[in-house]
Chain A
Amino acid sequence: MIGQSPLRILIAHAALILGILIVAFPIYYTFVASTQTLQTILKPPLPLLPGDQFWNNYSEALFGGVGRIGGVSVGRLLLNTTVMALGVAVGKIFISILSAYAIVFFRFPLRMTFFWLIFITLMLPVEVRILPTYKVMVDLGMIDTYAGLIVPLIASATATLLFRQFFMTIPGELVEAARVDGAGPWRFFFDILLPLSRTNIAALFVILFIYGWTQYLWPLLVTNSNDMNTIVIALKKMVSFADADTQWHLVMVTAMLAIVPPILVVVLMQRWFVRGLVESEK
């Protein structure tokens, strides 16, 4: 049993605070850097307290970026990344909940074969099949489109398996009760299965949104035009900008802006699915 003596509490808190410092300090330091002038950043040591360039740097990054990375504003980059991350998350959930539904609740020929086919794709991450996928995207004319960014990443064995596991825990009696109550396959899906899955959907959405947001290799390949870059690609391009000095203060601002949407998603959805978890407790 864990004691409640003051010393133990002190040690526990110290360990937690240390952990938080280790995780949070680099982010704080990036924030500090994003409020300094370029000269201050280039002349070590970097101060530990925020500078006075907050408004200058952030407004320049947000509104004055034209011509800086191929004429694309940070807003456009954030929009691209948001579209991609949302598309990947929603698409993955949509596809995998439907395939799990088919595999668990319907009896059709080759059902287990399809299940194993989906399962086997777990062994084939994007990187392994990247060349054929790229070729297909080129042939379909999907380079530099949102569809090209999103569609190849949508199929998800992991999410399908997670939904399958969850669906298997739904008692047979509940399915039968719905049948006796006159619910066909679609009604059962929308009225019963979907509401019961919302905590799973929320949790998956958080994970998949961040997965989509942080994609690097695929967006790098499938987008040529700067207009279609995601923010991660743009950051990379800003750092290794060939014909000018790296604008470190703006890089730091962009990095700060890039982590805001995932944080928002985590914070908002976390409250949602914690509530869901508590609710579904029997």
Chain B
Amino acid sequence: MATVDLNDVRKVYAGGVEAVKGVSIAIPDKQLCVLVGPSGCGKSTLLRMIAGLETISSGTIAIDGKIVNAIGPTERDIAMVFQNYALYPHMKVYDNMAYGLRNRGTPKAEIDSRVRSTAKVLELSGLLDRRPRELSGGQRQRVAMGRAIVRNPKVFLFDEPLSNLDAKLRGQMRVEIKSLQRRLGVTSVYVTHDQLEAMTLADMLVVMNAGLVEQTGAPLDIYEKPASTFVASFIGAPPMNLLSLSTGSSATELERKLLGLAPPGGRAATLGFRPEDAELVADAEDRSGALMLPATVEAVEPVGAESFLHCSAAGNRIVIRVGGRTTAKPGDKLRITATAEKLHWFDQGGRRLDSASPSF
């Protein structure tokens, strides 16, 4: 139905604070794009600029190829789902959903059929005469979605829509949003600070930090090849283990050994590996070409299907995941290994070093 193209978009507030510092994203038709990042990274501001609720300081935003910088939210043909639902408290569910259509002068009969069919899709048919306060959180969320869907807009915008729901309901709604978006095939932009939500929902994931895009790509690509230490520590739970390496004469033997594994063509400053990519080796064997790291267990977190061991190793705190149950207990000395292809290397500025790609 529509593409969304952001070209060097900036937002400078009146006080001189630069919330968004030049973001370019091209969202293909029918894709669900998730903007993820810590609070204050500019993701919500960016979404609100796409909605037309914030002015654009410089750069352009185009919906369906048409630049919308100067157009108000009504004419952009977008629908937005808000964090606190923003349902009209004095209107019945039916009127909440019909309101946008009425303002656009849609004929009564069409409004009625669209509201009722949308309500059916969202299983709200029995609730059309209720008021928002008579609904549970999940139902309100559904009405907010219904209000967006019924308009049949070019783009859906979601502003942390699940953050007010409890964990169980959140998981359930996440699946629903995803399947609904697939079915309707409407281009969507979804803002969240929850990396799990971001990973599971996104066709296209945009990781933002401090007003800039850190990395754009498919969720698993980003997971497997984080472009920076920020992305590496933000995506994935528990986050990637990052060991800082010092170079030069003062480096310890361990660190020099680790550096020997680094890809050529860059001065590696940080080594990372995912908790699930580490293995425990009981014996003193040395695997060549692999990371070998002595570690001391400090805490054990059994989750059931897996356990997380919090360890200290070479002056860093790391977490490793072991399947099933573990007999390890605090104080145990372990040896951790990870094969070379599972290691991630980052330079002084936190950028990824890849043997495949030239260093920068």
* Chain A residues near B (Cβ < 8 Å): 171, 173-174, 176-184, 187, 191-192, 195-196, 280-282
| Chain A nearest CB, measured from B208 CB (Å) | 21
In contact, B88 and A174 (Cβ under 8 angstroms): yes
In contact, B82 and A177 (Cβ under 8 angstroms): yes
Indicate if B326 sits at the interface (CB-CB under 8 A).
no
Query: Does more than half of chain A's interface fall in helix, strand or loop, or is it mixed?
Result: helix
Taking a contact as CB atoms closer than 8 A, the residue among B88, B90, B104 that contacts A182 in the complex is B104
In contact, B103 and A181 (Cβ under 8 angstroms): yes
Interface size class of B (residues with CB under 8 A): 20 to 34
Indicate if B100 sits at the interface (CB-CB under 8 A).
yes
| Chain A nearest CB, measured from B133 CB (Å) | 6
Taking a contact as CB atoms closer than 8 A, the residue among A171, A173, A179 that contacts B72 in the complex is A179
Nearest CB to that of A175 among chain B residues?
Answer: B86
Q: Which residues of A contact B353 (CB under 8 A)?
A: none
Indicate if B242 sits at the interface (CB-CB under 8 A).
no
Q: Which residues of A contact B147 (CB under 8 A)?
A: 177, 181
In contact, A176 and B80 (Cβ under 8 angstroms): yes
CA distance A120 to B84 in the complex (A): 36
| Chain B nearest CB, measured from A33 CB (Å) | 48
CA distance A195 to B91 in the complex (A): 9
In contact, A192 and B88 (Cβ under 8 angstroms): yes
In contact, B53 and A176 (Cβ under 8 angstroms): yes
Taking a contact as CB atoms closer than 8 A, the residue among A173, A178, A179, A191 that contacts B83 in the complex is A173
Query: Does more than half of chain B's interface fall in helix, strand or loop, or is it mixed?
Result: loop
| Chain A nearest CB, measured from B227 CB (Å) | 33
Which 5 residue pairs spanning A and B have beta carbons closest together? A182-B103, A181-B100, A173-B86, A177-B86, A182-B74
Indicate if B89 sits at the interface (CB-CB under 8 A).
yes
CA distance A36 to B89 in the complex (A): 55
CA distance A260 to B318 in the complex (A): 80
Cβ proximity bits B80-106 to A, threshold 8 Å, 1 near / 0 not: 101110111110000000011001100
In contact, B88 and A173 (Cβ under 8 angstroms): no
Decide: A180 near B99, CB < 8 A? Known: A173-B86, A174-B88, A192-B88.
no
Indicate if B56 sits at the interface (CB-CB under 8 A).
no
In contact, A174 and B86 (Cβ under 8 angstroms): yes
Indicate if B51 sits at the interface (CB-CB under 8 A).
yes
In contact, B78 and A181 (Cβ under 8 angstroms): no
Q: Which residues of B contact A182 (CB under 8 A)?
A: 74, 100, 103-104
What are 23 A-to-B residue pairs whose CB atoms are below 8 Å?
Answer: A171-B84, A173-B82, A173-B84, A173-B86, A174-B88, A176-B51, A176-B73, A177-B80, A177-B82, A177-B88, A178-B88, A179-B52, A179-B73, A180-B78, A180-B100, A181-B99, A181-B100, A182-B100, A182-B103, A183-B103, A191-B88, A196-B90, A282-B133
In contact, B80 and A180 (Cβ under 8 angstroms): yes
| Chain B nearest CB, measured from A115 CB (Å) | 19
In contact, B86 and A176 (Cβ under 8 angstroms): yes
CA distance A91 to B239 in the complex (A): 63
| Chain B nearest CB, measured from A13 CB (Å) | 36
CA distance A191 to B103 in the complex (A): 10
Indicate if B79 sits at the interface (CB-CB under 8 A).
yes
Decide: A171 near B86, CB < 8 A? Known: A180-B51, A180-B79.
yes
CA distance A10 to B321 in the complex (A): 69
Nearest CB to that of B80 among chain A residues?
Answer: A180
| Seed contacts A177-B88, A196-B89; 6 additional CB < 8 Å A-B pairs | A173-B82, A173-B86, A176-B80, A177-B86, A180-B100, A192-B88
Q: Which residues of A contact B73 (CB under 8 A)?
A: 176, 179-180
Cβ proximity bits B137-154 to A, threshold 8 Å, 1 near / 0 not: 000000000010000000
| Chain B nearest CB, measured from A183 CB (Å) | 6
CA distance A280 to B89 in the complex (A): 8
Q: Which residues of A contact B89 (CB under 8 A)?
A: 196, 280
In contact, A179 and B84 (Cβ under 8 angstroms): no
